[in-house]
Chain A
Amino acid sequence: MKQFFYFIRKEFYHLLRDRRTLFILFGMPVTQILIFGFALTNEVKNSRIAILDNSKDEATTAIIHQLEASRYFDIVENLNSYAELEPTFQKGQIRLAVVFPEKFQSSLLHTNAAPIQLIADATDPNVANTLTNYASAIIMDYQNSMKETQDFPYTISTELRMLYNPQLKGSYNFVPGVMAMVLMLVGAMMTSISIVREKELGTMEIILVSPIVPIRVIVAKMVPYLLLSMVNIASILLLSVYALDVPINGSLTLLVFECFLFTLTALALGLLISSISDSQQVAMLVSLMGLFLPTIMFSGFMFPIENMPIPLQVISNFVPAKWFYYIVKDVMIKGTGLETVWKETLILLGMLIVLLTISIKKFKVRLE
């Protein structure tokens, strides 16, 4: 038993002495959280738009004023002719153009009908949709304000409530995803590299010849990364709660337990990868391509799984991160408890057991 602790200590030394690596392993989650939390948002605001006002009358000025005042839009160009539209878009300056025809106000007042054209750069379809809708809403508001009579008869009004995330913060979606990503990276990739490096350097054989049981060697290799992962989780959670105002609505104990479970799964994956790689380069590439990318793609935090074609949705079920992401979202943000996530927890547990069995078996074979 004492030997085991010596091994663990040695592994810690390896980790702690490589300052650059350590810095990245700590710094990455922190940076990601900060970026996701503060810089990335799906909210649409300050979008650059252009106005082509062929009337320049009171009505158009009023509408333009409303658009300007809205936080969704930033008017950056006032164009003079239709011909200028396409080049302006091509220069990449604007996402939407609002075109007023000639004699706008007089058409509106005398014939009670006047057109406005909204031209959207549909390169990003969602943004185009959203901008078009916001602009339409602003224009509609103006239209309604023009009526002499009060409310339109037979009006249905809708009251809206945003659940769990009233401010539509992107971070609620991202934080669980970043957790999954970081745990995969640290747990799986680093562990596999660490084991393979020992193989490459040849020191693995020395260890194998020593009286220590080989499995204990492997476990010793995992321990520092297990701890590092838990530290990372702690820092992510702290940052999320205090810097990003992301709540932990559910039980912290349950959350930590699930993180621990997932970390173990990642470690088991790392072990599996190391047993099929001969060199560090291979271990790295397999971890990246075979683990990391699928984690990002199929966990559901960046790309909505329900939009994927069926075969991809099926694949996503085999990615542990998907289940973890779901669990964390539920427990952390929705605040539900084990009764909602017991199924997913069991699935994760099952994956862990299967992975451990396979990788230990493979490892033993390799050693012989």
Chain B
Amino acid sequence: MRVLRILLEKEFRQIFRNPAILRLIFIMPIVQLLVLPLAADYEVKDINIAVVDQDHSSYSRSLTNKISASKYFNLVEYTNSYDEAIRGVEKDEADVVLQIPASFEKDLVKDDKAQLFMALNAINGVKANLGGVYLRSIINDFNGEVRLEWLQLPRFNPQPIIQISSINWFNPLLNYQFFMVPGILVILVTMVGSFLAALNIVKEKEIGTIEQINVTPIRKHQFILGKLIPFWVLGMVVLSIGLLLARVFYGIIPEGSLLTIYIFAVVYLLSVLGLGLLISTYTETQQQAMLISFFIIMIFILLGGLYTSIDSMPYWAQVFTKFNPVTYFIEVMRMVVLKGSSLYDIRQHLLIVTGFGIILNVWAVINYKKRS
């Protein structure tokens, strides 16, 4: 016990004397939390649309007006020529082209049906999808207005109409930052945990002080604990800073209990640190440790459901996410912060991540050999 205390004293002293680490711990949350959510706004808006009006009728003009009045679209081109509009897409000046053919108004009034043509720059799938959806809904609205002009609908509508009302729960303002910030907090904590821990041990290996440690009667588990605890504390500190920043700058106040978050974070950090320690037992230089932990963490983050949905992943990827601690933390964060889920709701997550933590840390202790 005393040995552990002495180890911790040394570790903390060294950490606080290392300006690079300190800068990292304090600056990184700030940068990530302040800049990333601002940058990471996936809301689809300001879609640039080029309208090719070959009809020049009052209908084509009023449809164009309707589109340009919409908050989703910016009318950037109003032209006769389809080719010119497409060139606009090539030059990235337009995202969507709507072609109104020459006899649009005539066809609609006389033949009861008319056709429009939409071309979307689909390199960005999300934008294309939603762009198409929004444009269609504007056109439908317009269609309804046209019908109203021409048809006198009887009081009892012979056509059955299903009234769809949609509600958005948990994030009624559809604020994308509410979605991103909890996820970014997870990344923050994960990086501090695994990265720094791995680098720390390997640095001792590189410098040679680890030999000195190995010659002493320190037990393996004491040494590992001595490395684990300081970064565990740092991780919790970073988490707290992050939560504070989230509240102050984004007004994100967890719906659920902070305690739930912290309890999960305790367990999560242990598993992520275990990963870092494990990596450090397999590497010789700081460069290797950094690259490998970066590589692994990157995979975990990408496949953790941070910005793409796990539901859409192929089966093998979904299986992988079950073994990925990051997935669980991201889910828990979003669940607790936005939906107010309770400790009971996340009990399965808690259990699984605890399991990871135990496995990784035990593996690290076993792998660490004082005698090579």
A residues with a Cβ closer than 8 A to B are 18, 20-21, 24-25, 27-28, 31-32, 35-36, 38-48, 74, 86-87, 89-92, 95, 108-109, 112-130, 132-133, 136, 139-140, 142-143, 146-147, 149, 151-166, 168-170, 172-173, 193, 197, 279-282, 284-285, 288-289, 293, 297-298, 302-304, 306-309, 312, 326, 329-330, 333-334, 336, 340
Contacts and interface: CB of A to CB of B under 8 A. Distances in A.
10 contacts: A112-B158, A115-B165, A126-B176, A132-B166, A133-B133, A133-B137, A168-B125, A169-B125, A289-B27, A330-B92
Contacts of A304: 41-42, 124, 127
Nearest to B339: A90
Interface string B305-328: 001110111101100100000000
Given A20-B283, A92-B341, A157-B115, A168 B147 contact: no
Given A163-B120, A280-B286, A125 B179 contact: yes
A162 B299 contact: no
B286 A42 contact: no
Interface stretch (B30-38, B350-358, B360-368): B30-38
Given A47-B309, A304-B42, A340 B90 contact: yes
A163 B345 contact: no
A60 to B, nearest CB: 11
Contacts of B317: 35, 38-39
A158 B169 contact: no
The 10 closest A-B pairs by CB, nearest first: A39-B317, A122-B168, A122-B171, A162-B122, A125-B174, A165-B122, A168-B125, A307-B41, A118-B166, A90-B341
Interface in B82-132: 86, 89-92, 108-109, 112-130, 132
A146 B118 contact: no
A126 B163 contact: no
Given A147-B160, A154-B147, A40 B302 contact: yes
Contacts of A130: 129-130, 133
B125 A154 contact: no
A21 B287 CA distance: 8
Contacts of B117: 158-159, 161
A24 B291 contact: yes
Contacts of A28: 295, 298
A151 B112 contact: yes
Interface stretch (B138-146, B210-218, B232-240, B265-273): B138-146
Q: Contact size class for B?
A: 35 or more
Interface string B266-292: 000000000000000001011110111
Interface of B: 20, 23-24, 27-28, 31-32, 35-36, 38-46, 86, 89-92, 108-109, 112-130, 132-133, 135-137, 139-140, 142-143, 146-147, 150-151, 156-172, 174-176, 178-179, 199, 203, 283, 285-288, 290-292, 294-295, 298-299, 302-303, 307-309, 311-314, 316-317, 320, 331, 334-335, 338-342, 345
B330 to A, nearest CB: 11
Task: Count chain A CB atoms within 10 A of each CB in B89, B120, B125, B199 and give the residue with the most.
Answer: B125
Nearest to B104: A156
B99 to A, nearest CB: 9
Nearest to A41: B312
Contacts of B44: 126
A46 B312 contact: yes
Given A39-B317, A304-B124, 14 more contacts: A48-B311, A92-B341, A122-B168, A128-B171, A161-B117, A162-B122, A164-B122, A281-B286, A282-B20, A284-B286, A289-B24, A302-B307, A303-B42, A334-B90
Contact of A155 (B42, B46, B143, B161): B143
A198 B187 CA distance: 32
B371 to A, nearest CB: 23
A136 B43 contact: no
Contacts of A38: 314, 317
B120 A308 contact: no
Given A281-B286, A298-B39, A303-B42, A113 B168 contact: no
A118 B165 contact: yes
A161 B121 CA distance: 9
Given A112-B157, A163-B119, A284-B290, A129 B130 contact: yes
Contacts of A146: 160
B299 A24 contact: no
Contacts of A333: 123
Task: Count chain A CB atoms within 10 A of each CB in B114, B164, B303 and give the residue with the most.
Answer: B164
B125 A42 contact: yes
Nearest to B148: A154
A329 B32 CA distance: 27
Nearest to B63: A156
B144 to A, nearest CB: 9
Contacts of A170: 125, 308
A166 B112 CA distance: 30
B187 to A, nearest CB: 11
B147 A152 contact: yes
Contacts of A128: 168, 171, 174
A159 B302 contact: no
A326 B91 CA distance: 10
